[in-house]
Amino acid sequence: MDHGILFDHSRTARIGLPEAVFCEGKPFEALVELLGQFGRGTGRPILFTRLAPEVFDSMTEDMRAGYDFHPLSRTAYGDKLPQKDKGRVAIVSAGTADGSVAWEAARTLEYLGIRHQVFEDCGVAGLWRLAERLGEINSFDAVIVVAGLDAALTSVLGGLTPKPVFGVPTSVGYGVAKGGNAALASMLSSCAPGVAIMNIDNGYGAACAAARVVNGL
Amino acid sequence: MDHGILFDHSRTARIGLPEAVFCEGKPFEALVELLGQFGRGTGRPILFTRLAPEVFDSMTEDMRAGYDFHPLSRTAYGDKLPQKDKGRVAIVSAGTADGSVAWEAARTLEYLGIRHQVFEDCGVAGLWRLAERLGEINSFDAVIVVAGLDAALTSVLGGLTPKPVFGVPTSVGYGVAKGGNAALASMLSSCAPGVAIMNIDNGYGAACAAARVVNGL
Amino acid sequence: MDHGILFDHSRTARIGLPEAVFCEGKPFEALVELLGQFGRGTGRPILFTRLAPEVFDSMTEDMRAGYDFHPLSRTAYGDKLPQKDKGRVAIVSAGTADGSVAWEAARTLEYLGIRHQVFEDCGVAGLWRLAERLGEINSFDAVIVVAGLDAALTSVLGGLTPKPVFGVPTSVGYGVAKGGNAALASMLSSCAPGVAIMNIDNGYGAACAAARVVNGL
Amino acid sequence: MDHGILFDHSRTARIGLPEAVFCEGKPFEALVELLGQFGRGTGRPILFTRLAPEVFDSMTEDMRAGYDFHPLSRTAYGDKLPQKDKGRVAIVSAGTADGSVAWEAARTLEYLGIRHQVFEDCGVAGLWRLAERLGEINSFDAVIVVAGLDAALTSVLGGLTPKPVFGVPTSVGYGVAKGGNAALASMLSSCAPGVAIMNIDNGYGAACAAARVVNGL
Amino acid sequence: MDHGILFDHSRTARIGLPEAVFCEGKPFEALVELLGQFGRGTGRPILFTRLAPEVFDSMTEDMRAGYDFHPLSRTAYGDKLPQKDKGRVAIVSAGTADGSVAWEAARTLEYLGIRHQVFEDCGVAGLWRLAERLGEINSFDAVIVVAGLDAALTSVLGGLTPKPVFGVPTSVGYGVAKGGNAALASMLSSCAPGVAIMNIDNGYGAACAAARVVNGL
Amino acid sequence: MDHGILFDHSRTARIGLPEAVFCEGKPFEALVELLGQFGRGTGRPILFTRLAPEVFDSMTEDMRAGYDFHPLSRTAYGDKLPQKDKGRVAIVSAGTADGSVAWEAARTLEYLGIRHQVFEDCGVAGLWRLAERLGEINSFDAVIVVAGLDAALTSVLGGLTPKPVFGVPTSVGYGVAKGGNAALASMLSSCAPGVAIMNIDNGYGAACAAARVVNGL
Amino acid sequence: MDHGILFDHSRTARIGLPEAVFCEGKPFEALVELLGQFGRGTGRPILFTRLAPEVFDSMTEDMRAGYDFHPLSRTAYGDKLPQKDKGRVAIVSAGTADGSVAWEAARTLEYLGIRHQVFEDCGVAGLWRLAERLGEINSFDAVIVVAGLDAALTSVLGGLTPKPVFGVPTSVGYGVAKGGNAALASMLSSCAPGVAIMNIDNGYGAACAAARVVNGL
Amino acid sequence: MDHGILFDHSRTARIGLPEAVFCEGKPFEALVELLGQFGRGTGRPILFTRLAPEVFDSMTEDMRAGYDFHPLSRTAYGDKLPQKDKGRVAIVSAGTADGSVAWEAARTLEYLGIRHQVFEDCGVAGLWRLAERLGEINSFDAVIVVAGLDAALTSVLGGLTPKPVFGVPTSVGYGVAKGGNAALASMLSSCAPGVAIMNIDNGYGAACAAARVVNGL
């Protein structure tokens, strides 16, 4: 079986965002083949997302050596894009359980060469945690909000910052919150104006959305 | 056709909450008959909820004279229960559109003889509106939160008050917020601990829940 | 009954977006009172959205004279914000039926003083319609995509433009498309990276999201 | 990787409920770190919920010795809060399968220092089981009802007790009952007035809601 | 346009249940034509269900004279089937709002020549109302339970009667109960064994199901 | 931990159906305890449903010896109820995949002492399979229809038999059929009159419903 | 306001299907303008679907004269496409209530110049109705099945014909069948192989799908 | 236990499509028995779908030798039908993750003796990939489109080809795309006319639908 994917190599030129490989659901052999083609020093920067640690760990040591792998966010890349001079992105998350998504966004920005900072544990049930960091957050050029459950952080922060805000609902939680639909509906219904939303757990997408803003500065 | 409802008159003795008549969907003739049986001075306090102004307005003047009707909340009663000495309930709503539900709760409390106050327009997109009133809200014995859209007020207030909190999602909004399911899911997923929730638009139920608390003080 | 809304007047200072009034579901008297407070020459710019033509038409001539009303988008304002020097927004819609939402976005931008242009009938079932206009669309600083049904335009355009893209699903259609959930799910699942989504029919929100980008240029 | 959570230590002072750690979905290392920080004799009471027995069992013996762990409810704590003089809570469940949720509520109350009693197997398909215990249940200050499937117990008990009632739908069952949505909808639609509802399986939340009532006595 | 329906006249012979005409959604002209073909004295018994009073009232006096019309249940028939010697069906409803469905069942049984009795207002929030009538209900050969909201009556009655039980969820209610899906899910999840369920508001179907039982006695 | 369930032993006297134990989700220790209390020769007939083969197989040989276990249907009982003289039930299934549910019904009837026969592979995509057996099926006193996917068999058979029909949707299938909701909706919408429906996969319930019919003959 | 739609006039050349105008939801003025541009004798064949009779009736007599309007199907066209020599399509519907959708398909085929025949009232609750017509139906080159409720006709017919089958679920019915989702799920789950499905009520689409088949003969 | 399935052997004669065995969910023993009955050289062509590689691999070597097994598509057959002279089918997929479904369609066509070609990686986020192959695709007699996520390829291709188009939504993706419902809704709402849709992941069904077209050429 041949796993040769028809890559969209002109995408960077066209929209400023190089292609990424979403690994979940891809067969192991396909991932081996793909990881073998790219990697540090090949001059072909590519980002792997949703790459499970147990999958990465069963690659050969050689192959692993060519990649910067980050287990919590399940991301890997070899070469990165050159760092941009302009534009910084804040990633604000509500709770510890939102970490893997927040860091998927952070790692994607790192790979895209965009400066960024992660602000964790800013959930609104303890408002002082957000209040203390608001000034600093507002010094960034775009804000990614990562939250599950009722995602109330989106409205609170959206009402306190003038910057572009991209909300990422997470699938943490149980009962009606299970799978992230409550957070998604909550974010889409946000009473703060102009907050734009990504698919559940799509930290990669939020980073790309923020990159589109930064690329235009 | 006979509309004689089998009333549960012993309910007050049993659970401390007299029966109420939910008018929506009941035929006009049934409502005429019911409103004719009770009313001011009959010594039989009963609450009518979801009584549309246009329905009430088409009753005879005599019949209307026997009732205290409140159009925004669509509630009516003749006699009220005697005012209780102990217990006060705060009703906090996010926006103007939540008014009819907030006032349904307020009117139910009025009818039940429980002191209360309505705090409107406390939505979290402008946090200062809630902050200014928090001290006063916390002087009440129970808090009813009425909010639609993402209902983020529930988590914010639930994290700032030690009092029993009853959330009422409202059906205001459009798109994913239409019908109130986003607000309901958001409230049930609240990251503030111990916030208990009612059915969508159920201001009457929230008042009864608060009354159960007040009755036990 | 008092309809005095607790306005969040400091919002413009805080987040650069003045408050707006969502009229759907508000009682007629409340709208009369609100429209009476603002209007041309009062120096208090405010935007009314979801204001039904039949409601606006039943206002007094005097009151109507103070407003610039646009029936298709159901928007009205008196004074506008001063026009900004920088930043232009393209609004691209798939079909005629998406017009009211596309123009809600356009009118919001007009009110906010942001230059913009509407590109209608760019649905992908006839790709040449989009192809012809792509160059021009890419000269704008942000792109709002308005589409119902399968909303395929979002992915196609998202793969062809490097600019920030904000998708607005519309509620046009029937069967599984009714209410806009198919379009919403489709947009959130877009295979083009970094496309951010608003609630169904939320043209106002998309304009605010684009304004956040333009305000940062 | 650092798992240092930004604890909301002032929460007890603010709302009378100390923070709890929801363990499901947290990485093993994070749980080891957290369990290491607290535990019996540290003077820092904290409650761990949804802590799987197989996770707890793989901690060191030393660490386990510092905790009172309860496998059915999957809860653990080291120190408890001092027992309160006032207020007792009844926990009434419909069937054996609701046990883990009922005991999560019971254990949370135990940790909060609130007296309580669990009444199991009170499902309404055999009404005599509830009837026999009703008098005793009504001697408590608040009632938690835990039920899955059609959750009919909520309405029956809500119509027989004047006390604050908090319903917890459980995820037991199959077909339309799977995941607990049938029970949740049923409880929210209860024909008994003033019954307030928690998220599916949220025994912890129900205990907190009851604690808010007890704290105000 | 021709409204000639291809009637399944052999159905009575095949399954013992003559065809019925569901009127909702049929064009007025089609109903005129159908009502004209049958009616008292034609020797062709047929049942019309969901026939709106305003539609029936706009038929000619002549046509109306040929039918026994019942507005609450929206049913009409001309000739009835001969009364059967064996079998009696109890129809038990929870509240007044369930009346139209309960009476659709009753009228269908009347038309099918099956003896029956309606027991209204047996909702479980006041259990004594059911308790008083249980003995009599158990003297019937099949029981139809009609209930909306949480439909808790189904489980309670299903646990107290050995007779075949057919549950009909009703669409009364609001919020999560709106449209009857909560009642449907609740009934299907009933903890009483062997309770069989019909579509929402399908009083006609429940009567047919009971008729199948009675026809076999 | 004590697994003593409060059995409803009077249920047989009350409704003619002895209690059953639904094993799925119950802890292993609880099942061991329960299986130890009953079993062949104890004179206490009880039915265990959803008892996984791997669970039963890990009981002691002694314990297993006391039960008649049937792996496909996942049912076990020790003593059965005495066989009834009157009444026979046909169980008709659409495909092989519906076997475990069809046999759960058959085994429940066996346990209840009711004669029955299973007719498999009668799906309507090959109508001749049903046609050949229709005469025999119609000689039974009640019919249980077990079908997944579009469950079209229900309407076809419901239109061909005058006997009480109980439909059981099954959870077989994928895509929109996954979990059985398509089959459930299809059955509830059946165009054949008087077909009554059970929860998804509830073969036990269908047998109890048929038993209620047979018990009344 | 300008209603000038950007027509996709090259569509006929590209895919053999000329553009159609879906009228529902379009403003009256837009429809007046569109109907004015086309019509009999203009040599520009165009099909209007979902054109409500009350809308068409309020056009000028002149305008109406230019169109062949069919109220039940709510379709209108001026010129038709020339009749094709090859290919005939059968449209088979389950009940009278499916008429408007069946005739939308028929009228679309008429407009496209494709021979066809409508077979109504073939619902499977009376199988003889379909059996009698099966031979004739199988003489056509493609079959459109129109059915609501449980849409069982799709599987039955799909198992009896070798021709391409296109199913159209209809929105007739109530309760779980309301809006057509039960019929849609049922059709998509059909146990007959190779049955392809259209959106709910999309008779126009089914005709186009059949036309694609006929165009290739 | 007997796994003898009542095969519908006359199906090929009746509808031109021989029976297939859907293996998922069938017990291992049943599959062993079935695979034992057919296989190369038995002259009884039969197709096994959803046959997991790990299941096939645990069959005896002898048994495996009798089958052509294809792991990615999880299909197996012994003998094939004779190759047809007329008719060729194109299978166009959006991304690598859609491979298993695309190849299930391809293998079914191979088994049915119908010529076909698979075109992979034609997703619309990089339109040039589809554009390059459009001419060749249009030389086929029917087109199967396999796509997940927003399935935008369906509308784009449906607007560019005059051939019969059968869409198969796939269950790839996460968040709102999980399980394939977003893709299904998107395809059913396609703005390209006459695109007919199969159940999620139903590559087998799409091949059968295309075979119905090819069989009629």
C-beta separation of D207 from D144 below 8 A: yes
Confidence at residue G8, expressed as pLDDT on a 0 to 100 scale = 64
- HEC states along E196-217? EECCCCCHHHHHHHHHHHHHCC
- Per-residue pLDDT averaged across C17-44, rounded? 88
Distance CA H97, CA D74 (A): 38
pLDDT tens per residue, range G34-74: 999 888 888 888 999 999 999 999 999 999 999 999 999 99
Angle at D177 between CA D175 and CA D183, to 5 degrees: 170
Has residue C72 got a pLDDT over 70?
yes
F182 touching chain G per CB within 8 A: yes
Our answer on whether C and G touch (3+ beta-carbon pairs < 8 Å) is yes
Confidence at residue F179, expressed as pLDDT on a 0 to 100 scale = 95
Nearest CA distance, A16 vs chain H (angstrom) = 13
Residue E6 binned pLDDT confidence (cut-offs 50, 70, 90) = low
C-beta separation of A97 from B191 below 8 A: no
E173 touching chain D per CB within 8 A: yes
Please answer yes or no on whether E160 and F14 come within 8 Å at the CB atom: yes
A15 touching chain C per CB within 8 A: yes
Confidence at residue D198, expressed as pLDDT on a 0 to 100 scale = 98
G59 occurs within a structural domain: yes
G151 touching chain F per CB within 8 A: yes
Compute the half-sphere exposure of residue G75: CA atoms within 13 Å on the CB side of its CA.
23
Our answer on whether F and C touch (3+ beta-carbon pairs < 8 Å) is no
- What are the b/e assignments for A125-159, b being 16+ CB within 10 Å? bbbebbeebeeebbebbbbbbbbbbbbbbbbbbbb
- Per-residue pLDDT averaged across H62-78, rounded? 95
Has residue E62 got a pLDDT over 70?
yes
Are C36 and C104 within one domain?
no
Has residue D14 got a pLDDT over 70?
yes
Mark which of A77, A103, A121 sits at the end of a domain.
A77
Confidence at residue E75, expressed as pLDDT on a 0 to 100 scale = 97
Q: Give the mean pLDDT of chain E.
A: 92
A201 touching chain C per CB within 8 A: no
Residue D96 binned pLDDT confidence (cut-offs 50, 70, 90) = confident
Give the residue from D72, D96, D119, D150 with the most F CB atoms within 10 Å of its CB, the best one to mutate: D96
Count of structural domains within chain G:
2
A165 touching chain C per CB within 8 A: yes
Please answer yes or no on whether E212 and F11 come within 8 Å at the CB atom: no
Q: What is the DSSP letter of G21?
A: E
pTM for this structure? 0.94
Return the minimum-mean-pLDDT range out of B174-178, D197-201, G3-7.
G3-7
Has residue E7 got a pLDDT over 60?
no
Q: At what angle do helices B181-188 and A181-188 cross, to 10 degrees?
A: 120
Confidence at residue C203, expressed as pLDDT on a 0 to 100 scale = 98
Please answer yes or no on whether D124 and E150 come within 8 Å at the CB atom: no
H98 touching chain C per CB within 8 A: no
Closest alpha carbon to E115 in E195, E203, E47, E210: E210
Confidence at residue D44, expressed as pLDDT on a 0 to 100 scale = 83
E59 touching chain F per CB within 8 A: no
G137 occurs within a structural domain: yes
- The DSSP-derived string for chain E is --------TTHHHHHS---EEE-TTS-HHHHHHHHHH--TTSS---EEES--HHHHHTS-HHHHHT-EEETTTTEEESS-PPPPSS-EEEEEESSGGGHHHHHHHHHHHHHHT-EEEEE----GGGTHHHHTTHHHHTTSSEEEEEE-TT-THHHHHHTT--S-EEEEE----SGGGGGGHHHHHHHHT-SSTTEEE--TT-HHHHHHHHHHHHHT-
Please answer yes or no on whether A120 and D6 come within 8 Å at the CB atom: yes
Q: Which residues of B touch E128 (CB under 8 A)?
A: 10
C-beta separation of G69 from G170 below 8 A: no
- Give the whole-number percent of chain C exceeding pLDDT 90: 75
G83 occurs within a structural domain: no
Q: Which residues of G touch C176 (CB under 8 A)?
A: 181, 184, 199-200
B186 touching chain A per CB within 8 A: yes
Nearest CA distance, B171 vs chain A (angstrom) = 12
Q: How far is CA E27 from each of CA E24, G96, G143, rounded to the nearest angstrom?
A: 9, 10, 26
pLDDT tens per residue, range H36-55: 988 888 888 899 999 999 99
Confidence at residue B1, expressed as pLDDT on a 0 to 100 scale = 34
Compute the half-sphere exposure of residue F51: CA atoms within 13 Å on the CB side of its CA.
25
Residue F48 one-letter amino acid: F
G143 touching chain H per CB within 8 A: no
Are F64 and F125 within one domain?
no
Confidence at residue B39, expressed as pLDDT on a 0 to 100 scale = 85
Alpha helices (H) along chain A: 11-15, 28-37, 53-57, 61-65, 99-112, 128-131, 134-137, 153-158, 181-188, 203-215
Nearest CA distance, E199 vs chain G (angstrom) = 6
Tell me which residue range forms the domain holding C128: 88-215
Mark which of G44, G77, G110 sits at the end of a domain.
G77
Please answer yes or no on whether A15 and C160 come within 8 Å at the CB atom: yes
Confidence at residue B181, expressed as pLDDT on a 0 to 100 scale = 95
Confidence at residue E126, expressed as pLDDT on a 0 to 100 scale = 79
Nearest CA distance, C110 vs chain H (angstrom) = 30
**Element containing residue F143 per DSSP (H, E):** strand F142-147
A4 occurs within a structural domain: no
Closest alpha carbon to F46 in F25, F32, F71, F67: F67
Q: Which residues of B touch D192 (CB under 8 A)?
A: 15
For chains B and D, what is the number of CB pairs under 8 angstroms? 117
Q: Which residues of F touch G193 (CB under 8 A)?
A: 125
D38 occurs within a structural domain: yes
Are H65 and H100 within one domain?
no
Angle at G56 between CA G55 and CA G58, to 5 degrees: 70
Residue G158 one-letter amino acid: G
Closest alpha carbon to H81 in H129, H171, H12, H152: H12
**Element containing residue H88 per DSSP (H, E):** strand H88-93
Residue E39 one-letter amino acid: G
Closest alpha carbon to C200 in C101, C69, C61: C101
- Give the whole-number percent of chain E exceeding pLDDT 90: 75
Are D27 and D99 within one domain?
no
Residue of H nearest to A203 (CA): H175
pLDDT tens per residue, range D57-77: 999 999 999 999 999 999 999
- Per-residue pLDDT averaged across C17-25, rounded? 88
pLDDT tens per residue, range B31-52: 999 999 888 888 888 999 999 9
Confidence at residue A9, expressed as pLDDT on a 0 to 100 scale = 61
Are C46 and C65 within one domain?
yes
Distance CA H164, CA H158 (A): 9
Give the closest of G3, G5, G199 to C175, CB-based: G199
Are E29 and E122 within one domain?
no
For chains A and H, what is the number of CB pairs under 8 angstroms? 41
- Give the whole-number percent of chain B exceeding pLDDT 90: 75
Residue E197 binned pLDDT confidence (cut-offs 50, 70, 90) = very high
Are E53 and E17 within one domain?
yes
G3 occurs within a structural domain: no
B6 touching chain E per CB within 8 A: yes
Identify the CATH number of the domain in which residue H118 sits: 3.40.50.1970
D2 occurs within a structural domain: no
Closest alpha carbon to F196 in F131, F141, F145: F145
Q: Which residues of F touch D72 (CB under 8 A)?
A: 1, 27
A201 touching chain B per CB within 8 A: no
E135 touching chain F per CB within 8 A: no
Please answer yes or no on whether D191 and E124 come within 8 Å at the CB atom: yes
H83 occurs within a structural domain: no
- Per-residue pLDDT averaged across G95-103, rounded? 93
Residue C35 one-letter amino acid: L
C-beta separation of A105 from A75 below 8 A: no
- Per-residue pLDDT averaged across H111-138, rounded? 92
Q: What is the mean pLDDT of each run of 10 residues along chain A (217 residues)?
A: 52 84 88 89 90 94 95 95 95 93 98 97 87 95 97 95 97 94 97 96 98 96
Residue C49 binned pLDDT confidence (cut-offs 50, 70, 90) = very high
Mark which of C55, C77, C99 sits at the end of a domain.
C77
Please answer yes or no on whether E3 and G96 come within 8 Å at the CB atom: yes
- Give the whole-number percent of chain E exceeding pLDDT 70: 96
The first and second tokens of residue A99, run together, are: 């970490």
Give the closest of B72, B177, B178 to C1, CB-based: B72
pLDDT tens per residue, range G198-208: 999 999 999 99
Neighbours of chain E (3+ CB pairs under 8 A): B, D, F, G
Q: Which residues of D touch A177 (CB under 8 A)?
A: 199
Distance CA H141, CA C167 (A): 36
Give the residue from H170, H176, H189, H199 with the most C CB atoms within 10 Å of its CB, the best one to mutate: H189
Please answer yes or no on whether D150 and E190 come within 8 Å at the CB atom: yes
User: A100 by DSSP, 3-state: which?
Assistant: helix
A5 touching chain H per CB within 8 A: yes
C165 touching chain H per CB within 8 A: no
Our answer on whether G and B touch (3+ beta-carbon pairs < 8 Å) is no
Q: Which residues of C touch A204 (CB under 8 A)?
A: 193
Are E133 and E201 within one domain?
yes
This model of the complex carries an ipTM of 0.94
User: H33 by DSSP, 3-state: which?
Assistant: helix
Q: How many residues does chain G have?
A: 217
Q: Which of residues B8 and H163 earns the better pLDDT score? A: H163
Are G133 and G205 within one domain?
yes
Sole residue written with tokens 């919001």: C108
Closest alpha carbon to B174 in A111, H95, C180: C180
C-beta separation of H102 from H151 below 8 A: no
Confidence at residue A126, expressed as pLDDT on a 0 to 100 scale = 80
C-beta separation of C139 from C126 below 8 A: no
E185 touching chain G per CB within 8 A: no
- The DSSP-derived string for G97-163 is GGHHHHHHHHHHHHHHT-EEEEE----GGGTHHHHTTHHHHTTSSEEEEEE-TT-THHHHHHTT--S
C215 touching chain A per CB within 8 A: yes
- Give the whole-number percent of chain H exceeding pLDDT 90: 75
Residue A145 φ then ψ, to 5°: -110, 125
A193 touching chain C per CB within 8 A: yes
Nearest CA distance, B206 vs chain A (angstrom) = 20
Are G66 and G93 within one domain?
no
E133 touching chain B per CB within 8 A: no
Confidence at residue D39, expressed as pLDDT on a 0 to 100 scale = 85
Give the closest of E71, E121, E125 to B5, CB-based: E121
Are F67 and F98 within one domain?
no
Distance CA H214, CA H217 (A): 5
What is the rounded end-to-end Cα distance, in angstroms, of chain H? Answer: 45
C203 touching chain B per CB within 8 A: no
Question: pLDDT 10s digit of each residue in chain F, 217 long?
Answer: 334 445 566 778 788 898 799 999 888 888 999 999 888 888 888 999 999 999 999 999 999 999 999 999 999 999 999 999 999 999 999 988 899 999 999 999 999 999 999 999 998 887 888 989 999 999 999 999 999 999 999 999 999 999 999 999 999 899 999 999 999 999 999 999 999 999 999 999 999 999 999 999 9
Are H49 and H97 within one domain?
no
Confidence at residue H8, expressed as pLDDT on a 0 to 100 scale = 65
